[in-house]
Amino acid sequence: MPVIRIIRRSPLPPAEAWRRVTDWERHGAQVPLTRTIIDTPPPTGSGTRFTARTGVGRITFEDPMEIVRWDPPRLVRLEKRGRVVTGWAEIEVRTAADGGTEVHWREELRLSALPRFFDPLTARAGRVLFGHALTRLLRA
């Protein structure tokens, strides 16, 4: 599986950056043709499940995820449990030397319909898509 690594710096304080990057419904709003449905009642924590649904009309796929590690305001780890998308993602929030925040997004992603030959393309597309979403989530 290709591993995607993205780092973004933000002037936001770490607590606000954490709040934004763990607002799962906002994640869906940053990815084209995607919405996020929270499958478990609040509060968010280990065991929280949600699904990112991407597509138009009948041509959609679902990316169900579960939080398996919840260590606010520093680290969240998600396991992707779908038939189409599998793997994991970690989002880590660090205090930057200048008082802002540095967010590290790591993701191992596999699309079941694609042979491994396409892994480099999948990783590149993931870096662009998730990098764009992270930038927008952190926009002050």
Task: Give the number of C-alpha atoms closer than 13 A to the C-alpha of residue 33, restricted to the C-beta side.
Answer: 9
Check whether 134 has a pLDDT greater than 90. Answer: yes
Check whether 1 has a pLDDT greater than 80. Answer: no
Check whether 138 has a pLDDT greater than 70. Answer: yes
Check whether 32 has a pLDDT greater than 90. Answer: no
Task: Find the distance separating the first CA and the last CA of the chain, reported in whole Å.
Answer: 33
Mean pLDDT value across residues 77-98:
94
Q: Which residue has the higher pLDDT, 121 or 76?
A: 76
> Which pLDDT value is given to residue 96?
94
Locate 51 and state its tokens.
């699904």
Average pLDDT taken over every residue of the chain: 93
The pLDDT tens digits for 48-64 are 999 999 888 888 889 99
> Which pLDDT value is given to residue 57?
86
Mean pLDDT value across residues 18-34:
92
> Which pLDDT value is given to residue 67?
98
Dihedral (C-alpha) 38, 44, 49, 50: value to the nearest 10 degrees? 30
Check whether 112 has a pLDDT greater than 90. Answer: no
* CB 134 within 8 Å of CB 10: no
